[in-house]
Amino acid sequence: MRINNNLNQRAIELLEENRFDESLKLFHEAVKSSRDVQSLNNLAWIYCYEEDDDSKAIPLLKEAIKMQPHSHFPYNMLGEVYVRREKWEEARNVLQKVVSIHPTKTAFYNLATAYYKLGKLEAAADSFLRGSEPSDLSLYSHIKCLAELGRKEEAFQKLSQFSEEDDHFVGEIDVADLYVELGDYKMAIYWFSKGWETYAKDPTWLGRYIFALLKADDLPSALDIQQEVIKEIEERIAETNDDCDEEWTPAEKEDYIRELTNHQREYAQIIDKIHSGYTPPMDFSTSVLHECYLFGCDQHNNPEYTK
């Protein structure tokens, strides 16, 4: 074990020095020396986060898990791999084990994502809440689940506590989007206006902003926003046509102008579409969170694995 620990530490040092090929060779040597939980887990970590090759990591992690480790590292990593690969049943099964061994906010969030994708809204809402901090992405996702479950009073109560002063504040436009989902258009407009200057103009949230204004019977403001973003796009198209940057190829310029023109068309039609009964959908998506699961990583205070 001592030899393997030395190999592991030297491999991590080389990795920190950006000497990747030498580091990878030592991680492989550690596995050849002893196929134990630490060596298998750490080689899998390299494949997951340095080589972006989950297919090589999965069998290593499964082999480590068969040894019934007391550490959550291989379970957590395998759960994250399954979430990335959208293998929701497998992710749920592994991450349920994770939270029974070592319940972290990251694990609860990833488990909640699996539940959500499986249509298990009650379980997703509970796990998102367990993985949350004030005003963060996980609490935002929890409230989205409450809205879908029809638990609006509870959703309103929690959303009203969101604050820009919180360390993990999800963002003004995201808060506004939840208010649209809950049917409180006055509060949605308030938050959309707060994010107006700081967010990139995007048809998805701007369509929701215009929708909220129309629902609040404020057609003049909706028209103002529509015209402002159309004018802004016209200016960007003109600037792009005049741009002589050598790194900007004709094909790239053409694709970008086409994208802008499509957005311009969307904005021009959005008010009429909403008047015809169209509701711009909420752009809600989950992600995968991760931590460092490298045994012996001093940077993250991870100890070597001990039996």
Q: What pLDDT does 7 receive?
A: 83
Query: For residue 4, what pLDDT is reported?
Result: 64
Encoding tokens for residue 61?
Answer: 């992690």
The per-residue pLDDT string of the chain (307 residues; one tens digit each, 9 = 90 and over) reads 455 678 888 888 888 888 888 998 999 999 998 899 999 999 999 999 888 899 999 999 999 999 999 999 999 999 999 999 999 999 999 999 999 999 999 999 999 999 999 999 999 999 999 999 999 999 999 999 999 999 999 999 999 999 999 999 999 999 999 999 999 999 999 999 999 989 988 888 999 999 999 999 999 999 999 999 999 898 888 887 777 666 778 788 888 889 989 999 999 999 999 999 999 999 999 989 989 999 999 999 999 998 7
Say how many domains are in the chain. Answer: 1
255 assigned to some structural domain: yes
Q: Is 202 domain-assigned?
A: yes
* pTM exceeds 0.85: yes
Show the tokens assigned to 156: 């309103």
* CA 3 vs CA 29, 32, 150: distances in Å: 11, 12, 58
Encoded tokens for 262: 């499509």
Which tokens sit at 107?
């694990």
Range of the domain at 254: 187-285
Task: Look at residue 150 and tell me if it is in a domain.
Answer: no
In the block, which residue shows the tokens 């900007």?
248
Q: How far apart are alpha carbons 135 and 165 in whole angstroms? A: 9
In a domain, 168, yes or no: no
- 254-279 pLDDT, tens digit each: 888 899 899 999 999 999 999 999 99
How far is the C-alpha of 294 from the C-alpha of 120, rounded, in Å?
31
Residues 165-211 have pLDDT tens digits of 999 999 999 999 999 999 999 999 999 999 998 998 888 899 999 99
The contacts found for 211-220 with CB under 8 angstroms, 24 or more apart, are: 211/180, 211/274, 211/279, 211/280, 212/176, 212/179, 212/180, 212/185, 212/188, 213/185, 213/189, 214/271, 214/274, 214/275, 215/185, 216/185, 216/186, 216/189, 218/189, 219/271
The pLDDT assigned to 8 comes to: 84
In a domain, 192, yes or no: yes
The CB-based long-range contact list for 79-87 (8 Å cut-off, 24+ gap) reads 79/107, 79/110, 79/111, 79/114, 80/48, 80/110, 80/288, 80/289, 80/290, 81/48, 81/54, 81/57, 82/114, 83/110, 83/113, 83/114, 83/288, 84/54, 84/288, 85/54, 86/117
| Encoded tokens for 68 | 């019934």
Position 201 in a domain: yes
The tokens describing 24, both together, are 């990878």
The whole-angstrom separation of Cα 139 and Cα 125 is: 9
Q: pLDDT of 9-24, one tens digit each? A: 888 888 888 888 899 8
Sorted by sequence, the CB contacts under 8 Å of residue 287 that are 6+ apart come out as 113, 137
pLDDT at position 307 is 78
**Cα 19 from Cα 121, distance rounded (Å):** 45
Domain-embedded: residue 230: yes
Q: Determine, yes or no, domain membership for 264.
A: yes
